[in-house]
Amino acid sequence: MLFSNLVIRSASFAPSLLRSSTRTFAAMPSIRPVSPEFSSGPCKKRPGYDMGKLPTRNLGRSHRSKVGKSTLKFAIDETKRLLGVPEDYLVGIVPASDTGAYEMAMWNVLGERDVDICHWESFGKGWFGDAVSHLNLKDTVSVTEHTADYGHLPDLASVNTDNDVCFTFNGTTSGVRVPNCDWIKDDRKGLTLCDATSACFAMEMPWEKLDITTYSWQKVLGGEGAHGVLILSPRAVERLETYVPSNRPLPKIFRMTKKGKIDAALFTGATINTPSMIAVEDYIDALAWTDGLGGVSALIKRSQDNLGVISDFVDKNDWIDFLAVDPATRSSTSVCCTLKLDSDQIKKFAALLEEQEVAFDIGGYRDAPPSIRIWCGSTVEKEDVEKLMPWLEWAYETAQE
C-alpha cells in the first residue's frame, strides 16, 4: 500500500519524506539559523554587532600614546570589574592569544617545585608536552601526569596541590570541563595555572582557587584573535619576584619582571609589544555588551540555555550523544557530540550543513574522536541553536545516502 511506509516523526521536527522503503528520511527544514557561525574559535560576534560603530580614536596612533594607554587600561579595568577579579590580582593583555599567555606563565614560574599536570584533550596534552619536552622539567623536578581519554576527566582528587598544578578549566576540543575546583586546597603551597580560554565569561571562575588564569577574548566574547589575557594572584606575583629559572632564557614577549620586581606597567596598559588597537576596541565593545545584559551571570545563563537545547535534542534521539560521559562535566560552550556515523559520514554531515549555510565549522577537532563540535557560547542566540536541531536530523539521514 502506498502509505504503508510513512512514519510519523516527532512534532518538534520537520516531517519525514515519503519513501518506498522502511527507512525514514528527514525532510530538509525550511527555516535556517539567522547566524550559521558555530565555530569554536574565533567565535561568533555578539548579537547586533556592527564593526562600523567601533571607535576609530586609536587608528594611526601609537599604542603608547595617552589615548592608546588609556584605552588599554580601560579594557583591563573593565575586565577585572565584570569578571569579579579580586582587587589585589593583576590583569594584563599579552601577545599570542591564550596560547601565548599560558606559555608565558609556564616559562616564568614552573620549575620551582614539583608539578602535577592534568589533561584530557589536545590543548592540555600540549601543555604537558611543552613542560617535559621544551622546559625539560623532569631534569630538575618531579612531573606527575593526570590524564584521561576524551570524554572523561582524570581523578582530580589525586592531584597534589602542594605542587604546582597545570590544568584546563574547559576542554575546548573534548567538551569536558571541571565541574568545580573543590579539589584545589585553599592552603595549597603550589600555584595553579588554569587555561580558561573557553570558560571565562561563560562559567563561574573561583578566583580564590586560581593563581594564574589565561584566556583569549576570541572565544566567549567573540572577539578577534592574536591577543591573550593573563590574570595573576598575589601568590603568582610573589613567585615571579622570588624565582628565576636557571638556564632558561626568556624571549622578550615572555618577560614580566624588571630587576626582580613585577613590571607593573604591563598590567596598567603598557603592553610588551604592539597590540591591534582595533581588536582592543572590539573587545571593549563586547565588554559593554556584557555589561548591558547584566554582567557575566547573564552570559553564563545564555550559554547554559544553549546547552539545554542540545541536551533536549540528545535525549530525544538515540543517534547522537555527548562526548562528555558525565553530565556534570559537559561544557556549555564547546559542545562536542558523537554520532552513529563513521568518520567519513561525519565529515559529510558537517559539509552538508556548511553547504546549506546552516552551520559553519562544526567538525570535531582533528585530534578528537570522530565527532561534531557546536559552539554554544554566550554570543550565540538560543533561537539559532533551536533552528539548527532539525538540520542535524536532516544531515544525519542525508549523510547515509
Q: What is the pLDDT of residues 110-144, one digit of tens each?
A: 999 999 999 999 999 999 999 999 999 999 999 99
Q: In the predicted model, what is the mean pLDDT of the chain?
A: 94
Digit-coded pLDDT (tens) for 208-234 = 999 999 999 999 999 999 999 999 999
Q: Which residues contact 204 (CB under 8 A, 6 or more apart)?
A: 300
* CB-based contact 333:300 (threshold 8 Å): no
* CB-based contact 346:399 (threshold 8 Å): yes
Q: Which residues contact 210 (CB under 8 A, 6 or more apart)?
A: 181, 192, 194, 196, 231, 233
Please give the full DSSP string across 267-325, using - where no structure is assigned: GTT--SS---HHHHHHHHHHHHHHHHHTSHHHHHHHHHHHHHHHHHHHHH-TTEEES-S
The confidence score (pLDDT) of residue 373 equals 98
C-alpha cell belonging to residue 71: 584605552
- pLDDT, mean of residues 67-80: 98
The confidence score (pLDDT) of residue 26 equals 78
Q: Which residues contact 313 (CB under 8 A, 6 or more apart)?
A: 320, 389, 392
Digit-coded pLDDT (tens) for 333-389 = 999 999 999 999 999 999 999 999 999 999 999 999 999 999 999 999 999 999 999
User: Residue 85 and residue 91: Cα distance in Å, rounded?
Assistant: 9
In the block, residue with C-alpha cell 624588571? 258
Which parts of 56-120 are beta strand (E)? 90-95, 115-119
